[in-house]
Amino acid sequence: MENLNSLTTNNQAVILTNLEKILNWARANSLWPLTFGTSCCAIEMMMATGSAHYDLSRFGAEVVRVSPRQADVLIVAGTIVKRMAKPLKMLFNQMMDPKYVIATGSCTISGGPFIYNSYTTIRGVDKLIPVDVYVPGCPPRPEALFWGILVLQKMILQNSLFKNKKTRYRPVLAALPEGICIEEIHNEMKNILKSKKYL
């Protein structure tokens, strides 16, 4: 396999291009979510996957599998606490490749309303498992979850996950205008916090 890759020009195996497109199309259009709801975001996730108004089965993600073996996408919905970290990691490792993770809700992105003074909440799920798509909101509306799934589908179709499996793209980066990188934003936020102007 190694020498084959060297043959390719932009790290894209010439022979596989069309086959890969078909497989990506198949994987993108039949994402089977794994039910993993802990708190209030789980209700919005159920609202999206299981309710008559917002119907996730339009995008092919209707079959909500219970066992991690048959699931493709792990929608982490709700606060993750220290005691839940081990089962979450075990579940993620039990899932079969190609697997994706959508972190819905501000609790999974950064700990949400329980960041300060909570002795158990994990501040951000990406400390535990690699996350593909972040869906902000507390709880995010079902349409926001659809946005997350459509972004994931686009990423799969663009084959942006397979090129280098180690680094997972963070969509936040994609939305940044040219010339600005994430570190600048972090420093700016730190100064504001230190200066306590907002109090």
Partner 1 sequence: MTIQLKTLNEILHNLDEKKHWGTKEYFINMGPQHPSSHGVLRFVLKLEGEIIKEIIPILGYIHRGIEKIGESVSYRNFVHLTDRCDYFSSIINNWAVSRTIEQALNMETNDRIETIRTIFAEIQRIQSHTMWWGVFGMDLGAFTPFFYGFRDREFLTSIVEETCGSRLTMNYIQPGGVLYDIKSNFIKRIKQYIKYLRPRIEEYERLISDNVIVQKRTENIGILTKEKALSFGSTGPVLRASGVPLDLRKNDSYGVYDKVKFSVVIGTKGDSWDRYWIRIEEMRQSLNIIEQLVDNIPAGKHMVTKYTTKIKLPVGYYQSSIETARGILGIFVASNGMENPYRIHMRSPNYNNLWSITDMAVGLKISDLVTIVSTLDLIIPDVDR
Partner 2 sequence: MIISILKDAIYLKYGDFVLEKSEISLVKEVIIKQSKFLEFMQLVKDDKDLKFDILLDHTAVDYINENVFHLVYHLYSSIYNHQVIILVEVPRDKPVISTLCSIWRIAEWQEREVFDLFGILYNNHPDLRRIFLEDDWVGFPLRKNYKDNFMLEK
Partner 3 sequence: MINYSVDNFANLVDNSNNSTVIEVAFYILSIFITCLIFISLFVMVVVYIERKVAAAFQCRVGPNRVGWKGILQSVADLLKLLTKEKITPLYSDKFLHFISPMLCISASFMTLLIVPFSPHIQIINIDMGILYWSAISSLGILGILLAGWSSYNKWSLISAVRAASQLISYELSIILSILTMIIFTNTLNIQKIVLSQLNGCWIWRGHVVTLIAFIIFFIASIAELNKIPFDLPEGESELGAGFHTEYSGMQFAFFFLAEYVNLFITSTIIVILFLGGWLPWHISGFSIFNELMDSIPPIMWLLLKVSMIIFIIMWIRWTLPRLRIDHLILLEWKFLLPTSLANMVLASFLVLNNLYFYV
The residues that touch partner 3, with contacts defined as CB under 8 A, are 22-23, 25-27, 29-30, 51-52, 55, 57-60, 62-63, 65-67, 69-70, 72, 96-98
Q: Is 90 in the site for partner 2 (CB under 8 A)?
A: no
Sole binder of partner 2 in the list 53, 66, 116, 175 (CB under 8 A): 116
Identify which of 170, 27, 25 has the alpha carbon closest to the alpha carbon of residue 102. Answer: 170
Minimum Å gap between C-beta 28 and partner 3 is 8
Tell me the window of 12-20, 66-74, 114-122, 135-143 that interacts with partner 2 (CB under 8 A): 114-122
Sole binder of partner 2 in the list 4, 8, 57, 82 (CB under 8 A): 82
Closest CB to partner 2 among 85 and 91? Answer: 85
Q: Is 118 in the site for partner 2 (CB under 8 A)?
A: yes
Q: What b/e readout covers 13-51, taking b as 16+ CB neighbours within 10 angstroms?
A: eeeeeeeeeeebeebbeebebbbbbbbbbbebbebbbee
**Tokens standing for 20?**
């890969």
Please tell me the distance from the alpha carbon of residue 129 to that of residue 90, in angstroms, as a whole number: 10
**Tokens standing for 80?**
């993750």
